[in-house]
Structure 1
């Protein structure tokens, strides 16, 4: 009886060992296949993540540091919803430097213009001169500032220079605008342009505040408020009114 049991037990042990080995091998293959799938999935994810990084569109950089140009002012707006130009509730759109109403009123951008940082944000703003002609004798000059907003002019501030006061030059330095224009004494006749004023302005909110000005006499200027000769002061050596001293012999 014992002799018969020994082979049976040995056979059972052998079968058990075979099944265990087969199961272990199968588990290892499953684990390997699982690991391969995981690695393959990771590789695919890496490829998917990397693709948009190389094809994603680069956002357009902000243009606040760009300089405006005087040419851009010829097709921009004069006035805004907050800063009304000459009582107009809506902004006036210039076309090639000019706007015209049905009643004959015209608004024209004048030649003097300058570019520089007026509000301290590092971007080049623009300052120019606009003239309104209502069809009568009056021609009203306004000094206007446009802020640089992403490279586009945005009407920001203004100051009235008066009736028939043509501007000769505009410049910007250290956040201040210097304007040279012709005017007249207080109470003087409108046709008289006998003063060349150099005024310094600084941006304050929606206005250009005058910090200072100096006046010099001119000897020749037109009376229509459109153009003016530079003229000379009475104390100038080249002034035609200065008397010449006889030469000593």
Structure 2
């Protein structure tokens, strides 16, 4: 491990660390701010956004999409894009398309203001899925729980905190002095190989899907948006998305994505 990285990890324990990668040009941003920015731009260009509107069903005829039935009425359309995240499997079922997306709970906690100087770029320990970074005057901490069963649970749980404490003790013991101030819970949309599903259904014309990002959605979203735009307009995307088609799960050897948190 280089001296540069070792200096940055001066507050971390090095036992068990074989190597480290540092990307000085990388950064992080706030998902809610980015989503708000995209929504504002979309409205500026004429898009109409309906929030808190439940999809109840999709009407089809002769293998083609005809309309989407919602809690606020029916929308006539010949194209549907399923980007429903953890709920994508249910949307696929509405047109008879299997989208193997399973919801899993993920939790984030943030600390109280922490005075001691602690060099902390966005850091991920892939052996445990523990990750942390500065957030205001405190720190944002997260880690997946390998014992977490699938489901739509959004109620916060403390069952993962002992494991988080164990990893903190081993990796960043100084953070044990920072009290927890709060946190939140959300859902990951997991596929069998932890890679996204992007493409068009073969058994239902103009049913497009972009889902199952398995924790990589925010990272990949800008490029995926351009790909989906091209699919909607019947244009060739700038990148080959064939490997991300849902058909990859029918007999082919999967390329499992191992780097996720």
TM over 0.5: no
TM-score normalised by L of structure 2 = 0.21
Q: Which has the higher strand share?
A: 1
Larger-Rg structure: 1
